Amino acid sequence: MGKYKRRLGARKYMDYEASALERALQAMKEGMSSRRAETLYNIPRRTLLNKMKHIHTGDVGRPKSLSQAEERSLVDVLIASAEFGSLMTELDLRMLVRNYLDQKGISLTCFKENLPGRDWVYLFLKRNKTKLTKRTCQNIKRCRAEKTSEEFESYFQNLETTLQDVPPQNILNYDETNLSDNPGTTKCIFFRGTKYPERRMNTTKSAISLMFSATAAGELLPCYVVYKAERMYSSWIEGGPPNTIYNRTKSGWFDAGLLAKLIKTIELKSEKNIKNGFRATGIVPLCPDEVLKKMPTARYKERVSREIDNSLLDFLQSQNKRGERVQRNKKKMLHVEPGASVSVADLPIAQNKTSVEYEVPAIESEVQDAEPEVDSVESEVEDVESEVQTRSDPEERQIKVGDHVVVEIKGKKFLKYHYVAVVLETDDENDSLFVKFMKKGLAGFIFPPMEDTSIINISDVKQVLTQGTEKRRGIYIFSDIKPSFNLK
């Protein structure tokens, strides 16, 4: 917010405290003259006389852009939005006021294009500081916000059965975090015009895992530190908090074995206020109302002002309800050669299917007109697929000695690799082939210096290639290989 300076010689407005004005008015009611009160309380005489006659009782300065009723309604809307998790930023508040003024047909010259400025937001929050404040919030997943009171009640019923005859000192609450070895960046002083400012500092950007635990009886467990290393060094355990336990793992993460070692080696330390955390979660003592009272329910309507439209509350409640999940398509890895680029046009069949699937006309008549085009595109795709299948399906085409085929080999992590091979022998009884593999090069396919032969099943053959073109130095080129193969 900008700082406004008073012009020299300008009139002073309310150069006194409100409490001094009240004392002066009370003294005048008890018989003190206005001139005596002016001298004693340093308040202008005409101001005292106007206040005694209830003249000019409004606030000093320009009138507010919104009335008191409108500001109260706006405060209730902000509180309701925050209660249901649909938080508003300062920009959202400004846009909300702008939309309200536009819908009412009100145009305020003090707002540029009816959009309040940041100074207005600052003063609005200052006027309503008893109800509103700015806080840094944390994000929670939508699936957590969708939980209902019935689910929480069911949870506490099961928890009551689980914690039966379990003493509070055996109920643990633990959480882990990490500390990064990267100090980050900061602004330093450099010569003006320096293009690449650098700071010399050793850093590994590795993270150190920490675990803090406490019991429901108010006992604090020692801190547990885990390094990402295979060996422990003496300097790593120096200068830490008392009774801290140190360990290391190859991954730097906590596992069940480390937790078991922690429980065996801990020494419980008494701490105050730990019980409040268990009490706030309703675990010890068991009290579901501690959690249920924090949920935005229908009872919230009784607590907010009647000026909030019910449609707003219905909208806010619908944001926390479970809706239809948008099904996400599984992503597939594209096999692109180093240095090459790929676009949707490189996969013509997939492109046609995609355009058919996501085309949504806006008018019903257009939908009816578009149906023949969709059928024609699908028929073209089916014709192309059937043509490729009849031309290269190994089961329908008789594989002979000397044919070039594409063989599918399954690798690790369910990956599939494809190799070009030439058929040396066929075994119709066992449905197997004896083949010699070729290696993919920059210009085509060649036979490796060390002969690579194997017996494969005929079901591993994914395509029978046409006769390839042999160039110099034993390089073969095949023009009908499917682009979807992961050739090696």
Q: Where are the domains of the chain?
A: 22-52, 146-182+205-291, 340-392, 404-477
445-446 and 439-440 strand pairing: antiparallel
Q: Which residue has the tokens 């429980």?
A: 263
C-alpha–C-alpha distance, residues 181 and 420, integer Å:
49
User: Could you read off the pLDDT tens digit of each residue along the chain, which spans 488 residues?
Assistant: 667 777 888 777 778 888 999 999 999 999 999 999 999 999 999 999 999 998 888 777 788 888 889 999 899 889 888 877 778 889 989 998 998 899 889 898 889 998 999 999 999 999 999 999 998 888 878 777 777 788 888 888 888 888 888 888 888 888 888 887 776 778 888 889 888 888 877 766 678 888 888 888 888 888 888 888 888 888 888 888 888 888 888 877 777 777 676 666 664 444 445 566 666 766 777 777 776 666 655 445 445 444 455 556 665 666 656 555 556 666 666 666 665 556 656 654 444 444 434 343 333 333 344 444 444 434 444 444 444 444 455 555 678 888 889 998 887 767 788 899 999 888 887 788 889 999 888 888 888 888 888 888 888 888 888 877 887 778 888 888 888 888 87
Find where tokens 């150190």 sit: 208
Q: What is the pLDDT of residue 323?
A: 56
How far from 182 is each of 146, 199, 206, 207, CA to CA, in Å?
37, 13, 7, 8
Tell me if 109 sits within 8 A of 118, measured CB to CB.
no
Q: Which amino acid is at 35?
A: R
CA distance to 60, 154, 190, 312, per residue, from 161 (Å): 64, 11, 65, 40
Whole-number pLDDT of residue 342: 60
User: Cβ neighbours of residue 466 under 8 Å, at least 6 residues apart?
Assistant: 478, 479, 480
pTM: 0.45
Q: Kindly report the three-state secondary structure assignment for every residue of the chain.
A: CCCCCCCCCCCCCCCCCHHHHHHHHHHHHCCCCHHHHHHHHCCCHHHHHHHHCCCCCCCCCCCCCCCHHHHHHHHHHHHHHHHCCCCCCHHHHHHHHHHHHHHHCCCCCCCECCECCHHHHHHHHHHCCCCCCCCCCCCCCHHHHCCCHHHHHHHHHHHHHHCCCCCHHHCEEEEEEEEECCCCCCCCCCCCCCCCCCCCCCCCCCEEEEEEEEECCCEECCCEEEEECCCCCHHHHCCCCCCCEEEEECCCCCCHHHHHHHHHHCCCEECCCHHHHHHHCCCCCCCCHHHHCCCCCCCHHHHCCCCCCHHHHHHHHHHCCCCCCCCCCCCCCCCCCCCCCCCHHHCHHHHHHHHHHHCCCCCHHHHHHHHHHHHHHHHHHHHHHHHHHHHHCCCCCCCCCCCEEEEEEECHHHCEEEEEEEEEEEECCCCEEEEEECEECCCCEECCCCCCEEEEEHHHEEEEECCCEECHHHCEECCCCCCCCCEC
CA angle, residues 223, 224, 230, in degrees to nearest 5: 150
Q: Can you name the residues that pair with 427 across neighbouring β-strands?
A: 432
* Residue 63: per-residue pLDDT: 84
